């Protein structure tokens, strides 16, 4: 362990970006605590010497226990990587209240609570960094993506306020904005698009086409998705840079889409969305 080693706590390490980030920071000599709802999914990380913990970002006791364990061992969390999230993709009209609440519990409220739990220790130490994994989804919203994208809009807004609030205490807040990344995210997102077959559902065909798009071509290199390793390098940069930027976009598609959203009139950006995503088809009277 080097003098520059930091105590790191990462949420959502069972797969994808969280797992790769835990491995990368461990290789750099940091004291990594990788967490997941089901710690048995982290057995291979534990075998490499990474400390693993159970942590469910929708459960207060679980979050508090994980942070307390790290602070008991090391004094405080130096770096929190808020990675745990998933994508709910459903039409606004038919999404269930519990589905919407679960999306925000994981993607927003869990992220906020983790920050609240580590900040007292960071303030006492006079240093610390919180890296919030947002998405290019935090800058626009396509058909079918209202609630996932809204959750990432919330992460962007919360991070902006938090960055200013904790800077006087020596704590930094950084946002990472991946575009489509080749991980298990797509499979989880597609699973939320399918529902019980209902011929009266005006969005059934739309959901089917959306699932086909996400499951088939969206998360491929050919269509601009980046490998998990490339996204991980950006997260590590955000976590370790001496003078981090407020935001790090990941991938050309993320940068170009967010730029288009910023520069184009709403009507022009809506036209881009209509060309890029399926839309519901009205049922025509016989």
Active site residues: 14, 134, 148, 152
| Pairwise CA distance, residues 191 & 215, whole Å | 10
- Phi, then psi, of 269 in degrees rounded to 5: -70, -35
> Counting beta carbons within 10 angstroms of the beta carbon of residue 225, is it exposed (0 to 12), middle (13 to 18) or buried (19 or more)?
buried
| Pairwise CA distance, residues 109 & 11, whole Å | 13
| Pairwise CA distance, residues 195 & 132, whole Å | 31
| Pairwise CA distance, residues 215 & 219, whole Å | 7
Question: What tokens appear for 143 in the block?
Answer: 């058909």
The gap between the terminal CA atoms of the chain, to the nearest Å, is 73
280, 205 Cβ separation under 8 angstroms: yes
């Amino acid at each position: 362990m080097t003098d520059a080693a930091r105590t790191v706590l990462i949420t959502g390490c069972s797969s994808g970006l969280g797992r790769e980030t835990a491995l990368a920071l461990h290789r750099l000599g940091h004291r990594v605590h990788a967490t997941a709802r089901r710690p048995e999914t982290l057995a291979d990380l534990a075998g490499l010497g990474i400390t693993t913990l159970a942590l469910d970002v929708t459960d207060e006791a679980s979050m508090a226990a994980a942070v307390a364990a790290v602070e008991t061992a090391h004094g405080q969390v130096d770096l929190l990587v808020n990675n745990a999230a998933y994508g709910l993709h459903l039409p606004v009209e038919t999404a269930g209240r519990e589905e919407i609440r679960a999306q925000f519990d994981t993607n927003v409220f869990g992220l906020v609570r983790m920050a609240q739990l580590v900040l007292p220790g960071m303030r006492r130490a006079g240093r610390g960094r919180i890296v919030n994994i947002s998405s290019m989804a935090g800058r626009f919203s396509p058909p079918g993506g209202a609630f996932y994208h809204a959750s990432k809009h919330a992460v962007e807004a919360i991070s902006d306020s938090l960055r200013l609030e904790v800077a006087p205490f020596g704590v930094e807040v950084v946002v990472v904005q991946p575009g489509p990344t080749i991980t298990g995210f797509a499979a989880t997102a597609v699973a939320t698009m399918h529902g019980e077959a209902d011929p009266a559902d005006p969005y059934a065909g739309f959901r089917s086409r959306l699932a086909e798009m996400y499951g088939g071509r969206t998360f491929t290199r050919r269509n601009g998705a980046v490998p998990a390793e490339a996204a991980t390098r950006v997260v590590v940069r955000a976590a370790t840079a001496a003078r981090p930027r407020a935001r790090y976009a990941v991938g050309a598609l993320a940068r170009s889409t967010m730029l288009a959203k910023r520069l184009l009139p709403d009507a022009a950006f809506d036209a881009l969305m209509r060309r890029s995503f399926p839309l519901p088809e009205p049922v025509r009277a016989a």
